[in-house]
Amino acid sequence: MPVERTGGLLLVSPEDVAVRVGAAALELVPLIREGTSFERLAALLRTRHPAAGDVDAQLAVFLGQLWHAGLLEGAPGARARRSSARRFRLVDPDPLARRIAAAVGLLPARVRRVALAASIAAAAAALGWVASSGQRPRVSDVAHRFDPYALALFVLVVIPLHELAHAVAARRTGVAVTDIGVLLWKRVFPTPYSDTSGAYRVSGRSARALIAFAGPLVDLWSAGVAAAVAVTAAGEPAHAALYLVVLCGLAVCFDVNPMFPSDGSRVLEALAGDELLRQRALAPRAAGRARPAAVRAYRAAALLWIAATAATGVWLSVGF
């Protein structure tokens, strides 16, 4: 199924896996539908785009994307690709997400924007407060001062709210998220997930970005609440709150990492209108198939994330 995007289309398989198709690749779709050979497709590209380089390599990448998405006849498709990360579905969040989204929709748009900005500012202020109070949280505390209560809160409250936030943001745009659970990344590492693959149906860039941004926003809010508790409580509650600040901070850092598929990379891709921007920006040979300004902006964001992460890590470890 084709879905329009700026500068091209998305071809979407029955498994809801999307492949972005630019103008040059779009010319090949009719031939691929009829059935053709690699050599014929390459010859057509060379004829219509004589100045293009490494045609064979780019064509191979494009056909590989179609294959892995299940858009080529006889391809194992998305099921085969997804099997590398085994999924355990736990709950359907859509009924609750629908009700929350409807309640949020009752507020005027201006009120929602002000509330969002104020909540982010309040969380940042609380984190600044705890940082200047002499109770600076340290990453080493995760191992040296283990707190089971904070860990339980993080696993049983923060993570589910993170995934639910994705579902609520998606429902606000009319997209249902019916699958939240745990996947085994590389078949070993347990990772929570919410299946937002249907977000490609959303035409607005900011709306698609908000679906991805909603999860890290919950982590930030949680860190802010924990920071406020840390500076107003004492004893074990204060220690548990500081521990939770560290866990939520690490979650934010991990979730917005643009170097790997993450909420952060999806936000940047959504804002740029290019679902393959991360691959194109981080792979020099693929960069030519994306808008130069988008590639530069993505690389700048990646460098900013690296610098901010390194500085925060040093500050939380040894201080200045």
pLDDT at residue 22 above 80? no
**Separation between Cα atoms, residue 271 and residue 294, nearest integer Å:** 9
| Residue 316 Cα distances to 81, 112, 224, 273, 310, angstroms | 38, 33, 16, 35, 10
**Which pLDDT belongs to residue 14?**
55
**Separation between Cα atoms, residue 182 and residue 180, nearest integer Å:** 7
Q: What is the mean pLDDT of the chain?
A: 81
- Tell how far CA 139 is from the center of its chain: 24
**Which pLDDT belongs to residue 244?**
92
- The percentage of residues in the chain with a pLDDT greater than 90, rounded to a whole number, is 37
Extract long-range pairs of 28-31: CB within 8 Å, 24+ residues apart. Answer: 28/59, 28/62
- Under 8 Å between Cβ of 171 and 198: no
Task: Dump pLDDT digits (tens) for 28-58.
Answer: 777 777 777 777 788 777 777 776 666 777 7
Q: And the tokens for 47?
A: 């004829």
**Which pLDDT belongs to residue 82?**
42
**Separation between Cα atoms, residue 43 and residue 51, nearest integer Å:** 13
Query: Pick from 248, 239, 245, 247: which is nearest to 226 by CA?
Result: 245
- The percentage of residues in the chain with a pLDDT greater than 70, rounded to a whole number, is 76
pLDDT at residue 84 above 60? no
Interacting residues of 283 by C-beta distance below 8 A, sequence separation 6+: none
pLDDT at residue 26 above 90? no
Greater confidence, 135 or 194? Answer: 194
Greater confidence, 12 or 148? Answer: 148
* Torsional class of 74: left (φ above 0), alpha (ψ -120 to 50), beta (otherwise): left
* Sheet of strand 189-194, all strands in order from the earlier edge strand to the far edge: 86-91, 180-185, 189-194
pTM here? Answer: 0.76
**Which pLDDT belongs to residue 186?**
72
Q: Over range 166-190, report the average pLDDT.
A: 88
Q: And the tokens for 4?
A: 């329009």
The domain segmentation of the chain, as residue ranges, is: 2-83, 87-255, 257-320
